[in-house]
Structure 1
Amino acid sequence: MSDPLPEVEGVLSIAQGGGLPPKPSRAERAIPRKSSHHFVGQLTFGEERGEGKCLGFESKLEHDLALLLIYTPGVVDVYEQVEVFYVKADGKHARHFIDYVAKEEGGRRTAVLVKPHHRAIRADFRDIAARVACAVSPRIADRVVIVTEKMLDPGRLALVAQFHACRFAQPEFDAAVLAAVERIDEPLPVRDFLRLAGTGDAGFHAAVRLVRFGRIETLQSGIVTLSSTVRRRLVH
């Protein structure tokens, strides 16, 4: 999926967002606040769009996947721990909590079952996953997928983690680097682009936001650095 480029004013308004506190988690069951055996916690997202939300996770895998979902082009919302009732092999009813549901701009919702690879390949989990998929109604999701750590792209994960860390606006820097985009004549290092913008290295986070919102693009994969080569993104 690819999004049209935001207008100049849209980029600034998106980056600036609002100062409201994030909305609480929408999980349909309690997520532990601490654990001696699991990586548990809560992250927030969407503040830069004026609609901050809390999202819980119960493992490092869930945390990493949450970031990848949030910054997938076309995804507008992610929420967690959605309850589904299904029928077991013995005919009894049981419930399962879907780890994440990702909602796209067009309205499609994808239910994501997160499991380490060694558990995801087990027959008992596959049976439960198939039964949950049959039980999921269109009210909850349009499709069900299983995601393991083997499906995550480390380079993309590093980049979206950088997007997440740089999501908050710096209005003065954001305006300066955005204005400089039109003066890019040929690919150049981020450090030189920031000199062109008049911000120096202090405007680095603003340059990362331009990459995120599609105003400029890097010619190398992975995270953005001061040495990364960037160019103005061309619209075809």
Structure 2
Amino acid sequence: MLRAVPGSGGPLTAEFEIGYVGADGAEPRAILINSTEVRFELGKPVRVFSSRKRQRHFPGLWWSSTTGGHVGYESWLERDHLMLLDFDPAVVGIASQPFWLFWDENGRRRSHAPDYFARLVGGRAMVVDCRPAERIKPRDAVAFDAMRRACELVGWDYRLVGVPDPVLSTNVRWLAGYRHPRYRVPGIVAALREVFVNTAPLMAGAEEAGDPIVVLPVLFHLLWCGDLTAGLGTVLHDATPVTTVGAR
């Protein structure tokens, strides 16, 4: 029996179990406290996304530059947060529907599969659920609270996220179109890093580095990868200041 975090609002004691699908297809089930070393980012989804006529959600697959493979999403909201995880330099691994969390509630067994598991630089783990606040029903709130308490118990970060900032999402979605390594052309990369050692407007810097038609895809790729940086709180435009990361 595992003790919940004091003051969490849950029962005095709560037993959490984990069920997951390993990379080899095996389906282990174990007490949560004994599962903290599991590489959930390398496993398979525990749920299959359904697709049918007139459904309200839009499932799909996102090619992740972090993992080099496809990661599933069940809605456009999940897709946007998956995209932001992929863009985050602190994230080094991502898995969708990574495990089932099992616990007892009023004598009944409950389960919940979070939307994402992310492995962070340094090995720390983060669990993410995506749901706008206005769409959280009482039963969902109980599941999210159980997930939060379980993560606190084992030292994982937990995020319950709603609709992301629309400007940030718009900018990152644009840059995501250039996330593939094929846009990393060595000669142009070097030229852009040199041009933006001193902060310069986006288009002016691209023109200084060469033909913008050829240069801009590489520039956007470098912004995605973090080699270059720009403020993404306003919509990207020709005069957006861009700087080489690490430049003095």
TM-score bin, normalised by smaller chain = 0.7 to 0.9
Displacement of 1:35 after TM fit?
4.9
Distance 1:162 1:229 in 2: 17
TM-fit CA distance, 1:137: 9.1
In structure 2, do the counterparts of structure 1 residues 137 and 200 end up closer, same or farther at CA, with 3 Å as the change threshold? Answer: closer
Cα pair 1:216 1:232 within 8 Å, conserved: yes
- Aligned-residue offset at 1:25: 8.2
Distance in structure 2 (CA, Å) of the matches to 1:137 and 1:185? 42
Aligned residue identity for 1:158: T
For the Cα contact (< 8 Å) 2:85–2:91, is it kept in 1?
yes
Matched, 1:165 2:177: yes
Aligned to 2:203: 191
Give matches, 1:18-57, under 5 Å. Answer: 26-37=44-55, 38-46=57-65, 51-57=67-73
SS in 1 for 2:63: strand
2-structure distance, mates of 1:184, 1:69:
26
CA distance in 2, matches of 1:114, 1:148: 6
2:229 maps to amino acid: E
What is the 5 A alignment of 1:78-157?
78-120=94-136, 122-135=137-150, 142-149=156-163, 152-157=164-169
Identity %, equivalent residues:
21
Pairwise CA distance, 1:55: 1.1
Structure 1 residues not aligned, in runs of 5+: 1-23
**1:135 & 1:192 partners in 2: Cα distance?**
50
* Number of aligned residue pairs: 205
CA distance in 2, matches of 1:87, 1:148: 25
How far is the alpha carbon of 1:214 from its aligned partner? 3.4
**C-alpha separation in 2, matches of 1:31 and 1:165:** 24
Q: TM-score normalized by structure 1?
A: 0.73
1:204 partner SS = helix
Would you say the 8 A contact 1:184–1:231 is kept in 2? yes
